[in-house]
Amino acid sequence: MTGTTLPGTDALRERALAALGAAGVTPQYGEGLTARTPITGEVLFDLHATTASEADEAIAAAAGAFRTWRTTPAPARGDLVRRLGELLRAHRSELADLVTIEAGKIRSEALGEIQEMIDICDFAVGLSRQLYGRTIASERPGHRLAESWHPLGVAGVISAFNFPAAVWSWNTALALVCGDTVVWKPSEATPLISSACSGLLDRAAQDVGAPREVHRLLLAGREVGEQLVGDSRVALISATGSTRMGREVGPRVAARFGRSLLELGGNNASIVTPSADLELALSGIVFAAAGTAGQRCTTLRRLIVHRDIADEVVERLVVAYRKLPIGDPFAEGTLVGPLITAEAAERMRDALNRAEAEGGKVLVGGGRRLAEDAPSAAYAEPAIVRMPEQTAVVRAETFAPILYVLTYRDFDEAIALNNAVPQGLSSSVFTGDQQEAERFLAADGSDCGISNVNIGTSGAEIGGAFGGEKETGGGRESGSDAWRSYMRRATNTVNYSSRLTLAQNVSFL
C-alpha cells in the first residue's frame, strides 16, 4: 500500500459534504439507499431512496416538460448545456473529490472524468446549431424531398459506477440540445456524485430560465430501474452495464416498441507485433490494463503477442506491475485504487482460480492487499496470467485488473483471437508495419466498435462515437453522429407544382 494510512471515513464524509455543499446540494438522509466509499469500505450516509410513486411523478414531470422543451429553439437549448459546462468548470475539483470518494478513482482519472463532462458540453453546444437534415433529389418535377430531425421524447439514462458522471453527461448534454428531457437512474454505488451533477443542472436551468423538469434524478435500486425501463412514456432507454443487464433491458424496451441504446460488456484485446515500439506498447498496455483498477468497460483484458517477442514483453510487464503503487487514490503517486466492493475482489480471485484450472499461470499479482486501518476495503494487486489458449475464463469479462496473455504465429491468427469473444467494444494493435495497421482497421480486421493503432484500448475522446458490437450492445454515445439516437427522423415531400405527380410513374384517375 502506498502511504502510511488511508484517510478515515469521518474525514471522507466531511470532504464529501464539502463537495456537495459547493454544488449547492444537501444529502437527502433517510432509508433505502447507502452511500459507501471503497477507499475504506465503510458507510458514509444512509439516504432516502426514490419510491415507485416518486419515480412515476418524475417521469410524468419530464414528459410534461418535453411538450415545451421540444419547441424551444435548439440554440436556446444549447444555452442550458453551455451554463452546465460553466458550472462543471467552476466545481471541477469538488466533483472529482466525489468521484474518488465513491468510485475509488485516482485523482488524475477523477479530474479527467470531469473534464470529459466539460468537453461533451462544449461539443453539444456546437451541435445545437448543427442538427442537420438533408435535401434529396426527387424524381418528380416540382417536388422537393427532404429529411428533418425532431426531438424524440423522454430519455431514460441508466449509468454504472465506473464512470458515474461522464456517461450521464454524454447522454444528457446531447439529449437536452436535441430537445429531449431526461430521467436519470444512476448506480446505487454513486448517489453523491449523481446528486451533485443533478444539482448543478438544476442550477443551470434556473440561471437560463429553462424548466427544472427537463431533468429528474432517481436515487434508487433495481426496482425503480425496472420501472423506468418499462414505462411507455420513456421513449429511449440508454443503459450502461453488464451484458446480463442488457439482455433484460433490451427485450423489455422492444416489447413496448421503445428505443434502447445499450453500452454493455467489453473483453478488450491488444495485439503486439514484432515491429512494435515496445516502450510505447508497454506504456499503453499498463495503463489500459491496470488503470481504474481494471474497472473500465474498455479495460485491456487480453494481450495477444507474437510468439517471437512474447517472453520479452511479458518479462517487462511483470517488472512494471511489481512497481505499481497501490493504495489511497487521493495520495500523490498512487496509480491503482480500490476495487468497488469486496465482492469484486472475490470475483477476481475466482477468475484467477479458474484460469489456473484451465492451464494458466499467474505470473504476478492477484493478491488482496488488506489495509490495517480499513479491513473492509478491497485493494487488489493487478495480475498477469499466461494462458495456453483462449479458454472459457478468458472469453468471459471479469471486472477486475486481470490481463491474460496469449501468443500468435501470424497476423490472421491474431485478428481471429481478437474477434473470438462474444463482446466487441474496444481493441488495438501495436505495430510499425503500415500493412498490419490497415489490415487491423479493415472490414475483415477487428470487429469492435473501437479499433486503435499504437495506443491502448481505453481513453476515448468525446469527438468520436463510443460503443461496440455483438454482446456490447451496438449503441453509440458521445460524439460524431450519436445525436441521432436521441431524435426521430421525418421524410418530407413538398409539392410546389400545380400537378399531382405520383412516384414510380404510377397513374391513378
Per-domain residue ranges for the chain?
52-131+145-263+479-489, 268-465
The mean pLDDT value for 335-350 works out to: 96
3-class SS at 271? strand
User: Does this chain's domain 52-131+145-263+479-489 share its CATH topology with 268-465?
Assistant: no
Q: What homologous superfamily is domain 268-465 in, according to CATH?
A: Aldehyde Dehydrogenase; Chain A, domain 2 (3.40.309.10)
Residue 3 has pLDDT above 70, yes or no: no
263 labelled catalytic: yes
Instruction: Give, in order, the Cα–Cα distances in Å from 301 to each of 114, 267, 286, 288.
Output: 25, 6, 11, 9
Q: What pLDDT does residue 372 have?
A: 73
Residue 373 has pLDDT above 80, yes or no: no
The number of CA neighbours under 13 Å toward the Cβ of 391 is 18
What's the CATH number of domain 52-131+145-263+479-489, 3.40.50.300, 3.40.605.10, 3.40.50.1000, 3.90.1150.10?
3.40.605.10
Query: Which residue out of 263, 381, 436, 471 is catalytically annotated?
Result: 263
What does the pLDDT look like over 121-160, one tens digit per residue?
999 999 999 999 999 999 999 999 999 999 999 999 999 9
Residue 23 has pLDDT above 80, yes or no: yes
Residue 21 has pLDDT above 70, yes or no: yes
Starting at the earlier edge strand, list the strands of the sheet with 383-386: 361-364, 383-386, 402-408, 300-306, 268-272, 426-430, 450-453
Q: What pLDDT does residue 368 have?
A: 80
Chain center to CA of 69: 26
Chain center to CA of 48: 26
pLDDT band, residue 374 (cuts 50/70/90):
confident
The pTM for the full model equals: 0.96
pLDDT band, residue 2 (cuts 50/70/90):
low
Rg of the chain in Å (alpha carbons): 24
Q: Where are the beta strands (DSSP E) in 137-214?
A: 143-151, 154-158, 181-185
Lowest mean pLDDT, pick from 340-344, 373-377, 446-450: 373-377
What is the average pLDDT value for the chain, to the nearest integer? 97
